[in-house]
Structure 1
Amino acid sequence: MRTAQNAYFAESPRQVPSSGKVGPPMLIVIAPADGRVVDTVPADTPDQVRDAVERLRDNSVLWRSLGVVGRVHWLNMLRNWLLDNHDGLVLLLGLETGKSETEAETEFALTIDALDHYRANAADFLGGKLPQAPMRPGAIMQLTIAQQASAVVGVIGPWTYPLALTMIDALPALVAGAAVIVKPSSQTPLTLRAVTAGWASLGAPAVFESVAGHDAGPAILDRVDYIRFTGSMETGKVVALRAAARLIPCCLDLGGKSAAVVLADADLGKTAASIALGGLANSGQNPNGIERVYVENAVYDAFVDKLVDEAAAFGPTLGEETGFAVMTSAKHIEFVRDQVRDALLKGATLRCGGAAVGHSFEPTVLADADPTMSVLTQQTLGPILPVVRVADAGEAFELALRTPAGPCISVWTADAAVGARAIGRFAPARVGVNDVSIHLAHPAPY
């Protein structure tokens, strides 16, 4: 394991100046684990974002001229910097998100895995396309597909996985020859800020910058040539409309309520263990995590008993870690508590958990859940597994498709034909058959 070389990680937490002088607005980053101030970050104004985008636009010309080999060289340099600063980055990520060492380490590994993927495949991804056959008999024209990078790509990232999910979007844009401006969540801006500072410290072309603050997101939307957003469906609608108004392309990776469907012939032990992992890891703060479970009546009671056993035993991975994972904000703990309270008032049965413990929330299983409860209609991003009893597979599939549909659906069955049909029925969601989904694939060692 390598140690941090960047002086950023040696800084002690800074307080907001109290001199009384008027200065730029500041973001105060709070450690969810204990409530102390980790750092303060200047919030960028719309004018500062505009200047940053125009600077990146100018610099993108040189960046594109380097070609794939030249750009991959700088990605190799970034990879080395990330590994040299591994300990500091993992520590900083854990501080600002509240993630355990295991969870922060996993997110770092996902980032390296994504970097390796694009380094290894950049030339193939960007290779020219062969001319296509004429589109109609007798046509004298042929179609050739060419690729042209946008000058500046904006990436607006989430607080759930502020390093990995933002870098997974930024890296392909850099490989393609675009300059990138990233705007991490105002709750968790520090790790991405450190990474873009690391890029600058390498002497790399100035095509990768970060901005922060509540005004920075709209300002990015008003300036960039392409937008990549990860977050809630509500904010995603605003992003899409704003991009449409400028006629620029956008790609949205939105949350929702990913579902699991448990059929009567499923292996209940394996299914319960897997669904517990898919819904409770990182305190449920995973935009792809399972947030609702539909179970056929014939095995409902037996499955819930097994799920309760798994949830009650769910805990840290490393021996030296104790207690439940910390949630990223106290406000969100209250939101999760309200969902549980609403479910119980409307007839749900609390089978385990249900309470906040300090800065954490207990892994919770709610039986007898129904669609009138907010825990089934609003994204939770917490360690809550509501379980709905259904008559058969048809009812389960119908309910799983209802809004707010999530990005992932898993189907648990011993019938391969049923699983195959489910993949087509639930498209374009990512569908896992007897597996939570592809988003839980373990990253390769770095």
Structure 2
Amino acid sequence: MTDSQDTGTADAPLPAQPGASSAPSGASPAPAAAPADGNPVVRAAAGTRTAADVVTKELVDRLTQGVTGSGRTANHTPFTGEKLADLPESTPEDVVTAFERARAAQKIWAEVPVKERAAVLLRFHDLVLRRQAEVLDLIQLETGKARLHAHEEVLAVAVAARHYGRKAPAYLGPKRHTGVVPALTKVTELRLPRGVVGQIAPWNYPFELSVGDALPAFAAGNAVVMKPDTETALTALWAREQMIEAGLPPEVWQIVLGDGPVIGPEVVKHADYVSFTGSTRTGREVAQGAAARLVGVSLELGGKNAMLVLHDADVEKAAAGAVRACFSSAGQLCIAIERLYVHESIAEDFLERFAARTKAMRLGNALAYGADMGSLVGQRQLETVTRHVEEAVSKGARIVAGGRPRPDVGPLFYEPTILEGVEPPMAVCTEETFGPVVSVYRFSDEDQAVALANATPYGLNASVWSRDGRRGRAVAARVRAGTVNVNEAYAAGYGSAQAPMGGMGDSGLGRRHGAEGILKYTEAQTIAQQRLMPLAPAFGLDDEKYAAFMTHSLRAMKALRLR
């Protein structure tokens, strides 16, 4: 899951949220009148928790204990723009200190048997499910998303913790291989931790994309120095606290906070492996920094994801799926759908149903279930969404639903928006919006739909809808994307933790989940023992006879179908 707002090595921190400068400190801006025909709003019920109830000084002091930072910074909530907490801010020297502590701790952690390391993940799994209300409040306050969308992060983290908690010993255990000469050559593959992983995590999924990515690194015996986005740091800090309670040595997970252009390059400079989730532009810079040091890197970057609704799709289910696909977390999801292709024979029916569902979506900012969509996270996101929609309309696109900011709900709310008639050179046609905006296009046959879906340098996620599962899977296999979901938006692929998830093309390098998601945090080592005779002339064989013997042996091994 990535963002189009730059994070990591090439970005500035999120600016102060709108409303913060036009109202007294800690106060919400005066609400504007709601549009008469706009999306309905879910108002907070009496007694609903507020930011002040959740983010107490005691909580902040507890979570920031042990965080390396000699300066001070702060984060804010998108719901109102008010400050949530004062936080430690790291300097480049603090980053060096964090890596030194992590390296010392990693050597001890790597000696812990893998089953015991994996058991920490299983205990963490239980703590997260038991205390999920706490982290749901933090995720909502820091990102502005609806509670149901925050719960997706809880589900994703729990699934990953269970998967690697159960499977890590098998993934990492010694593996026997056939040697060059069977019986004479014994070969064992070992998996060794890389050392200290440098992780740069974005703001849009602060629980899943912080600890969710770190879990396999810990299971593999690594330490982690993580730079979460400052605006969503409390969520990552809460995750660290639970991992420590579950049995992770505190020094094994170091967190540093600060401006991306200052702290990001320092993390890359000292890491033994780099894990980055963020924009494609910043990802290229991270990759260049890692390559200069000859260390490995995994990158999950941007996307301009397509959804294909085939002629035989269940229109009602596809319309409901499109709402999830396009507007989860207000579209601030790297695997969200921004291009929607519908077969011309069902386009009118689909668009009518999709628009009706979109217009009925409830907006809200309460720390409770009930809202269908929350807020954008920052002013830059709001400006991008507004610019894309206004430019498209000025060049001939039609608004089918939405298309307006909603300051009556909060300073960064924008209605879920459907556009039709989008075409180049409109920015929304090719650039990642990373907001609640989708463009709908019509196609006449499946070959055209596949060609349109693939007409982008990105290749992260896609969705195909058909009543015929075989047809849907066949079309999915032709789409150039790392995950393609059939009759679902993104959760089926992302939630299947045994299967790899990642991007093609400009959407990144490497994979999370499955074997690839943990083995990337290891170095492969081959131990080969030669027995009885060397791989050289012996037992009286001269060079020519040895060469003839090996030639006959290779032919025999092929005939015996030995690999």
2:280 paired with 1:236: no
Structure 2 counterpart of 1:65: 111
The equivalent position to 1:347 in structure 2, one of 378, 387, 396, is 396
Deviation at 1:245, TM superposition (A): 1.1
Contact 2:157 2:212 in 1 (8 A): yes
| Mapping of residues 75-94 of structure 1, within 5 Å | 75-79=121-125, 81-82=127-128, 85-94=131-140
Contact 2:121 2:246 in 1 (8 A): no
Contact 2:54 2:137 in 1 (8 A): no
The equivalent position to 1:150 in structure 2, one of 194, 200, 206, is 194
Rounded Cα–Cα distance in structure 2 between residues aligned with 1:113 and 1:391: 39
Contact 1:257 1:378 in 2 (8 A): yes
Rounded Cα–Cα distance in structure 1 between residues aligned with 2:359 and 2:59: 36
Deviates more, 1:143-152 or 1:125-134: 125-134
Rounded Cα–Cα distance in structure 2 between residues aligned with 1:13 and 1:81: 17
Contact 2:159 2:495 in 1 (8 A): no
| Mapping of residues 177-326 of structure 1, within 5 Å | 177-200=221-244, 204-205=248-249, 206-214=251-259, 215-315=262-362, 321-322=370-371, 324-326=373-375
The equivalent position to 2:57 in structure 1, one of 11, 15, 18, is 11
Rounded Cα–Cα distance in structure 2 between residues aligned with 1:78 and 1:389: 46
Deviates more, 1:160-169 or 1:140-149: 140-149
Structure 1 counterpart of 2:102: 56
The equivalent position to 2:450 in structure 1, one of 387, 397, 413, is 397
Query: What's the TM-score, normalizing by structure 1?
Result: 0.87
Deviation at 1:384, TM superposition (A): 0.9
Give the fraction of aligned pairs with identical amino acids, expressed as a percent: 33
Structure 1 counterpart of 2:384: 335
Change (3 A) 1:177 1:13: closer
Find the residue that maps to 1:66 and give its secondary structure.
Answer: coil
Rounded Cα–Cα distance in structure 2 between residues aligned with 1:439 and 1:315: 27
Structure 1 stretches lacking a partner, 5+ long: 1-6, 15-22
Contact 1:13 1:37 in 2 (8 A): no
Greater length-normalized contact order (CA 8 Å, ≥ 6 residues apart): 2
Change (3 A) 1:298 1:181: same
Deviation at 1:440, TM superposition (A): 6.2
Structure 2 counterpart of 1:160: 204
Rounded Cα–Cα distance in structure 2 between residues aligned with 1:9 and 1:181: 24
The equivalent position to 2:219 in structure 1, one of 152, 164, 175, is 175
Contact 2:140 2:147 in 1 (8 A): yes
Structure 2 counterpart of 1:29: 75
Structure 2 stretches lacking a partner, 5+ long: 1-52, 61-68, 498-563
Query: What's the TM-score, normalizing by structure 2?
Result: 0.70
Contact 1:411 1:419 in 2 (8 A): yes
**CA shift digits 1:142-175 (9 cap, x unpaired):** 6532211111011111111011122221000000
Deviation at 1:202, TM superposition (A): 6.8
Deviation at 1:130, TM superposition (A): 1.8
Change (3 A) 1:159 1:282: same
The equivalent position to 1:382 in structure 2, one of 431, 435, 445, is 435
Rounded Cα–Cα distance in structure 1 between residues aligned with 2:135 and 2:313: 41
| Mapping of residues 108-127 of structure 1, within 5 Å | 108-127=154-173
Change (3 A) 1:310 1:90: same
Larger Rg: 2
Contact 1:259 1:400 in 2 (8 A): yes
Contact 2:273 2:297 in 1 (8 A): yes
Find the residue that maps to 1:356 and give its secondary structure.
Answer: coil
**CA shift digits 1:192-240 (9 cap, x unpaired):** 1233245456774220111111222111100011111111111111111
Find the residue that maps to 2:190 and give its secondary structure.
Answer: coil
Rounded Cα–Cα distance in structure 2 between residues aligned with 1:261 and 1:92: 35
